[in-house]
Amino acid sequence: MAGLSELSARILAAAPPLPLAADHWQAVVEIMGLSAQQARITELILRDLSDKQIALVLGISESTVETHKERIRYRTGARGRMQLAMQVLAISHQVR
């Protein structure tokens, strides 16, 4: 069986890329006021990873992923993944 880091690498390799340029992503993170972990989880959500995959990649439990997602929802007002993605894209268009 593959090691955890190898599995994480495979998950990330199979995921679609972040739909923003790195400088725009950093600006979005700052505008949204996300912590480093919240930003990483938001990035992985935008790359269409499931909570289980996010937990594997970050080496945390699924319940910890859910806790971070709750805090992201509270901070951004987004009710779900799609609304979060739409907010990120809207903010990224403002910083261009």
Average pLDDT over residues 19-26: 88
pLDDT of the residue at 36: 95
Number of structural domains (the chain) is: 1
Contact 44, 57 (CB under 8 A): yes
pLDDT digits (tens, 9 = 90+) for 28-80: 999 999 999 999 999 999 999 999 999 999 999 999 999 999 999 999 999 99
Q: Look at phi and psi of residue 59 and say left if phi exceeds 0, alpha if psi is from -120 to 50, else beta.
A: left
Q: Which domain holds residue 63?
A: 4-94
Supply the CATH number for residue 26's domain: 1.10.10.10
The Cα–Cα gap between 41 and 64 comes to: 11
pLDDT of the residue at 2: 55
Helix residue ranges per DSSP H, the chain: 4-14, 22-32, 36-46, 51-58, 62-76, 81-94
Which residue, 12, 40, 46, is CA-closest to 26? 40
pLDDT digits (tens, 9 = 90+) for 7-20: 899 999 999 998 88
